[in-house]
Amino acid sequence: MGQLLVVKGDPVQGTDQHNVKGTGPNPAAPPPTATYVGIGDYAYKGSVTEALSTFVTIAGTPVALVTSHSGLDPGEDAPGGGHVGSAGGNFVAGPGTVALIPTVDDTLQITDKPLGTGVPNSAAGNALLTVGGVRVLLDGDAIDTCSGLGKAADSTVTAHGQDFVTCSG
């Protein structure tokens, strides 16, 4: 069985890494707070939103290409979302920084810009199916999200917007 083609709005989920800085409770107090600079892992929850095919649609929805982009879902980069400050995990302190266990009250901030953009990994798509010479994005393809600090292909796209057009090969 073939893989479903991805269309506008299909979800992109995974984990990426970001540079972070801030202050928070000092595990070796005094003083009661410590400065933190390091890297943390963040959940990426977004969808394919930009640079879609203007030529091919499935049931009226534009097809996603390997040149398409994803963006974070609304609220993910706002307070309470999964892509902000202390919402991360697996924090690794930078040189000369006290290890910090972030809390809801800390001032931890993601310092990478731009935040939220995902691009298909170089291995995404199928060379046999193209639109204008550009490979079409397929269900399960790897997406490199945000700044690319972390592992390559740290998120994947899932075809949800259509369930009848597939690519085999």
Q: Nearest-CA neighbor of 69 among 143, 136, 127?
A: 143
Domain count for the chain: 1
The pLDDT of residue 153 is above 80: no
- Specify the pTM: 0.87
Q: Say if residue 117's pLDDT is above 80.
A: yes
Domain carrying residue 71:
3-167
pLDDT at 152 over 70: no
More confident residue, 10 or 116: 10
